[in-house]
Amino acid sequence: MKKTYSFFIKFFVLAILCTTTFACSDDNDGKINGAGGIDVQPGMNVVGRITDGTTPMEGVVVTDGYSVVATDADGVYQIRASRKAEFVYISVPADCEIPMGSDGCPAHYQPIKLQTNKVLYKDFTLKRTGVKKNFRLLALADVQIDTETHVTRLEKEMPKIVEYVKSLNDQPVYGISLGDLGWDNMNIYPTYKKYVNQLNIPIFSVIGNHDHNQLMVDQDADADAEFKEAFGPTYYSYNIGDCHFVVMDDVLYKNRKEYDATLTTNQLNWLQKDLSYVDKNKLIIVGVHIPIERRNRNNQLTNKDKLYEILDGFNHVRVLSGHSHNNYTTTHKEAPRIEENTLGAVCGSLWYKETEICNDGSPSGYAIYEIEGNTIKNWYYKGNSTPKDYQMILYKPGEDKSGSYPNDVLVNIFTWHTNWKSVELYENGTLKQSLTKNIKVVDPTAYTALDGDMTRIETNNDHMFKYTPTSSWSTIEVKAEDPYGNKYEGKITK
């Protein structure tokens, strides 16, 4: 009888141990002792361990988009995830390689589907590489493909971008795509990935208004389902060097023609929690699609004041945006420490015919940032098909298309801002004027290339200048220097 009793006791204990051991699966029936010996705290429903393959990683920031926590000394995180949460994701540490998925995109997240009274276990394995203090950033805006014609154009343009990025091989290069990856085509993302992945660098993605499903009217939370399936969460952070990147979704979508430039309250709450783990002296780069402020018009983020409040105290903040298909830099009026670079589009003016031009006369293109520590040491806009030093275009008297400046030379400096060191104009080799007063006028090349279609042409183009030459002019030359010491020149002859 004792042997029989002892047998049943051993069997019972073994059964308990087996139950505990296999509680590491997502379907663990609510057991609290899970994978790797994690003691799940009461109320927690998503837990996991983050390691470098062998060693637990402490201090890695983890979120479900609502709560934000950091791993403990054992590499363990525990979250009471919101029932609305669709992902659990990490803010990739600066000393780790960006994890990449089989689709060639960053794999910093895992989908979750919460179940009542069950705990989900989601582990992450990272690769330590050391902190890369110096690196370059490729910023694309508005690739915006839809039709076969667009894809054919992208197929021609991408090798040019790839070739230039490969030439920057003295430092690591990372990428960010600032929204409107597609053009209201929810099935285009595999094609987009096919071409953008030719760059062979990690590229994080921002959601744009045309990345929402236009069939979802007044359903912002559902209109981004296809984007999330392809690229993961629409707001998140990651770290490279001494830079903390934040990607936000500032499109509150109503329908294809109506949307607000707004950050939801939930995103702002998340951002405040995320930044609580970030040193105030880090460089903060915020990626959005719709500009937060615009130098050349009054459109702005509806709740930018709350964003400024959250960013207050951070000493180095740069915003990158797209949407406008033209270039302009804005110093934020109520937060002058924040500079925003709104970039011209890879697709130019929506792949119009065979043109390679944006609506402000800038070439179709992208931006390159050179980052050292917590400082942007240099940045410039680069045309897909134009050399790095092509940064301006000059027009002779009589070439103005607006009718306002028939006798003037017009000068278009694509990324000019009020903080440029100098813009000097020479007539017949003699310095005549420092150009400091910009004007708003359509770019003549854009007007001609876009067939005078004013729905495609930027009428608020304010990186323009005018000069009235003497009757004896034969050459006009402009020499300009930006805040980073880059010097550019343009010249016309009579």
pLDDT tens for 142-175 read: 999 999 999 999 999 999 999 999 999 899 999 9
Share of the chain above pLDDT 70, in %: 93
Q: What is the Cα–Cα distance from 305 to 42, expressed in whole angstroms?
A: 37
Q: If pLDDT is split at 50, 70 and 90, which confidence band does 35 have?
A: low
Each residue of 437-469: pLDDT tens digit? 999 999 999 999 999 999 999 999 999 999 999
Please state, in angstroms and rounded to a whole number, the distance separating the CA atoms of residues 51 and 61: 13
Distance CA 206, CA 361 (A): 25
Confidence tier at 37 by pLDDT (50, 70, 90): confident
Task: Count the Cβ atoms, other than its own, within 10 Å of residue 212.
Answer: 27
Helix count and strand count (H, E) for the chain = 8, 28
Examine the pLDDT at 336 and tell me if it is beyond 70: yes
Q: What's the whole-model pTM score?
A: 0.92
Q: Could you give all domains of the chain from N- to C-terminal order, each with its CATH number?
A: 2-92+109-125 (2.60.40.10), 134-383 (3.60.21.10), 392-493 (2.60.40)
Q: How wide is the angle at C-alpha 140 spanned by C-alphas 138 and 141, nearest 5°?
A: 155
Q: How confident is the model at residue 104 (pLDDT cuts 50, 70, 90)?
A: very high
pLDDT tens track for 275-330: 999 999 999 999 999 999 999 888 899 999 999 999 999 999 999 999 999 999 99
Q: Mean pLDDT throughout 368-381?
A: 98
- Is residue 329 within 8 A of residue 338, CB to CB? The reply is no
Those residues whose C-beta lies under 8 Å from the C-beta of residue 443, and which sit 6 or more positions away, are 360, 361, 393, 412, 457, 458, 461, 464
Q: Sheet harboring 392-395: ordered strands across?
A: 392-395, 409-413, 464-467
The rounded distance, in Å, linking the Cα atoms of 340 and 287 is 10
The answer to whether the CB of 226 falls within 8 A of the CB of 207 is no
pLDDT at 15: 38
Q: How many beta carbons lie within 10 A of that of residue 317, not counting itself?
A: 20
pLDDT average, residue stretch 208-234: 96
What element of type H or E holds 308? helix 304-311
Q: Among candidates 348, 478, 324, which has minimal Cα distance to 416?
A: 478
What is the three-class DSSP state of 302? coil
Q: Is 65 left (phi over 0), alpha (psi -120 to 50) or beta?
A: left
- Both structure tokens of 357: 């031009």
Say if CB 129 and CB 96 are below 8 A apart. Answer: yes
